[in-house]
Amino acid sequence: MKYRIQRAKGREGSTIYDYSAPGHYQCVPTRLFDIDGAGANDIEGGKIIMGITYFVPGGYTDFTNNPMESIYYILTGEMTLKTDDGETVLKAGDSFHCVGGVNKSVCNTGEEVCKMLVVLQPPQA
């Protein structure tokens, strides 16, 4: 398959799925596209993972790292991002991009559900 259209969750043909992400609390991570065949399969030769995570107020992730290059884009709400350099508040329209191995965490310090688009690229062999 050279391309793929993903239908909204609940629509016929949608393969978006919720999953449990280690170190994520009070949130619902979803996958729109992935590379491991777990449900929302990416295109042939695809190398990125993309999803939306819904964090309720107080929802957060552990302060840790993973080997994947990461982009977070805040669709609605706000998140406090923590890195080794300190903390900053990301609001709707803000984004964060880092290489793999960077210590980071996010916490919904706002008063509404935060929807965060997450794009990941695993290390390439």
What pLDDT score does 4 carry?
81
Weakest-pLDDT range from 32-36, 53-57, 110-114: 32-36
What pLDDT score does 99 carry?
97
**Whole-number Å distance between alpha carbons of 74 and 6:** 20
* CA nearest neighbour of 98 among 125, 120, 75, 74: 120
Cα angle at 93 between 3 and 74, to 5 degrees? 70
Task: Give 18-34 pLDDT, tens digit per residue.
Answer: 999 999 999 999 998 88
What pLDDT score does 80 carry?
98
8 Å CB contact between 40 and 5 = no
Domains identified in the chain and CATH numbers: 18-121 (2.60.120.10)
Task: Give 54-87 pLDDT, tens digit per residue.
Answer: 999 999 999 999 999 999 999 999 999 999 999 9
**Whole-number Å distance between alpha carbons of 109 and 125:** 37
Region at 75 (left for phi over 0; alpha for psi -120 to 50; beta for the rest): alpha
